[in-house]
Chains A and B, each alone.
Chain A
């Protein structure tokens, strides 16, 4: 049966990943195991392709109810951490993982703080006492290594103006420009989960890639995890699209000192050198406010929160009035300093 649990060798309780120490720890007896040193039960398991439709909890025997994408969860009956190994092996085996560094309690605290800091959110929302659920989720990402060969041709001008006698002269120097650039990007993340909002995931970046670890299943113990819905080839266009603006900015930075530049030909060849399947830590916060559901995501390493909070019309109006007043007075003051009347 492709279900893995992490039983404590001392007391037999289910062990979970501890974000504070980065170790597999037993909540009952306090035993801590260094994940990088213990053997991963995922590797030992020699299971045949049996295409199981049902997973059973090894602790209580109950059927584990999961979405087709879920690869790690907790048993809804006994609460044991379970990992569905057939969804983490073969083509679905993650290469790397960034474990959680923010614990559930810290996540709740950070979320409340973020709510309080919202300048436009209704005051009822700011108390953040309606958290419906908070879930630690390893979201599947592809980390691309993208090599770009860029060649651009263009026309650039330098404009100089001067006056001589009764005439104003505009002198324009024309140049033909050419740039050949090699531009390599590494670890460009694209979220591979169908459920996750792409825009939301993009805002969660950056993740600290120096904390990437070789994937081992105990990191998932106690958390939810999903397998990818799209493979790296399917998401390559999105990755290309994502770095397009980076490339444009780079090209522009190599063409400086001109008044205006127009490109006549721009060739960008992007090659995917490598795409690593990774799991990145995200806290999903579900929040009820005035009968509506709001979903927020928090970077499980940095604590950065993203998601659209409700906007209070009254606060918008108040801020607008305040800024309008200050701007109006400032413009009046400018006018007065320039010699205009104050009234």
Chain B
């Protein structure tokens, strides 16, 4: 009896664990049919588009956010921020509900402008500063015309940055897994090295051991002030190139934002 009970409890734990692992992916699957890539400018092949769509679903589900890409030739020459806001109002995207959590990357091929906007949860986790960082990361690839690579970076970086609490620097070196691994290797090496070095005994005397304090001392000293030099440096204000910041759509949805050109 007792043994059976423990086997059952073990199975239950395993089932909960499996469910925990599988469930988020199922949710992602359920939402898989809705479109996240709106490539009106036709920058991507059909194959790339579905690949990016699947990727955006997979990463977005883990952050409960729709990661959207919107490209347009923009023949009317509209403003890229306005385009993004209208897109949000009209398409009503959102992971949790219509007009819900979403981050939108808009490419305006007419002005070659770029705009990133975060709504709701994405607004909280992707403030203007983080969106600036994402934009700076992908702009070189966009300039080179390597759209697919830029969009992949956008999806992955969005996913990564939303994993950090708001208001911390997402590029903090402490968050880097290689820094953590390297740091641990260095600490381990130093500690074991010291242990090995000390295994043969170590010198435990200092000058104090042999100093005759009664006859030793400073006989004469001088600290003569000569001059003072001052240098000044202008404090860099965090004003990214052409950054516009966030705003509110006509439909009343406030968002964070970052604007630039490519």
Contacts and interface: CB of A to CB of B under 8 A. Distances in A.
A182 B218 CA distance: 6
Interface in A310-329: 311, 316, 319-321, 323-325, 327-328
Interface of A: 118-121, 156, 163, 166-188, 202-206, 243, 245-247, 249-250, 254, 304-309, 311, 316, 319-321, 323-325, 327-328, 331-332, 334-335, 338-341
B227 interface: yes
B20 interface: no
- Measured as residues with beta carbon below 8 angstroms from the partner, the interface class of chain B is 35 or more
Contacts of B225: 173-175
Nearest to A155: B226
Contact of B165 (A170, A203, A327, A339): A339
Nearest to A117: B199
B226 A175 contact: yes
A307 B200 contact: yes
Interface of B: 163-165, 167-168, 172, 174-175, 179-181, 183-185, 187-189, 191-192, 195-196, 199-207, 209-212, 215-235, 237
A163 B204 CA distance: 45
Contacts of B203: 202-203, 205
A187 B232 CA distance: 54
A172 B229 contact: yes
Contacts of B232: 167-170
Contact of A166 (B196, B228, B235): B235
Nearest to B190: A323
Minimum-distance CB pairs A-B, first 3: A246-B207, A306-B201, A339-B165
B185 A324 contact: yes
A188 B205 CA distance: 11
Nearest to A299: B201
Nearest to A310: B199
A332 B180 contact: yes
Contacts of B184: 324-325, 327-328, 331
A4 B232 CA distance: 82
A305 B192 CA distance: 20
Given A182-B215, A203-B201, A249-B207, A167 B163 contact: no
B222 A184 contact: no
Contact of B207 (A118, A119, A166, A243): A243
A316 B191 CA distance: 10
Contact of A175 (B183, B215, B224): B224
Contacts of A321: 188
9 contacts: A167-B233, A170-B233, A180-B219, A250-B211, A324-B184, A324-B187, A327-B184, A335-B174, A340-B168
A338 B192 contact: no
B199 A323 contact: no
Contact of A178 (B180, B222, B229): B222
Contacts of B175: 335, 338, 340-341
A177 B222 contact: yes
B202 to A, nearest CB: 6
A327 B210 CA distance: 39
A171 B233 CA distance: 12
Contacts of A170: 230-233
Nearest to B181: A328
A179 B218 contact: yes
B218 A185 contact: no
B207 A247 contact: yes
A323 B70 CA distance: 49
Contact of A249 (B188, B196, B206): B206
Contacts of B172: 335, 338, 340
Nearest to B227: A174
Contacts of B200: 203, 306-309
A187 B192 CA distance: 35
Nearest to B229: A172
Nearest to A309: B199
Contacts of A331: 174, 179-180, 183-184
A185 B228 contact: no
A327 B190 CA distance: 12
Task: Name the residue among A120, A177, A184, A247 with the largest chain B CB count within 10 angstroms.
Answer: A184
A250 B209 CA distance: 13
B219 A182 contact: yes
Nearest to A114: B201
Given A186-B212, A339-B168, A320 B224 contact: no
A178 B183 CA distance: 42
B180 A328 contact: yes
A338 B174 contact: yes
B207 A185 contact: yes
Contacts of A186: 210, 212
Given A320-B192, A331-B174, A341-B164, A174 B201 contact: no
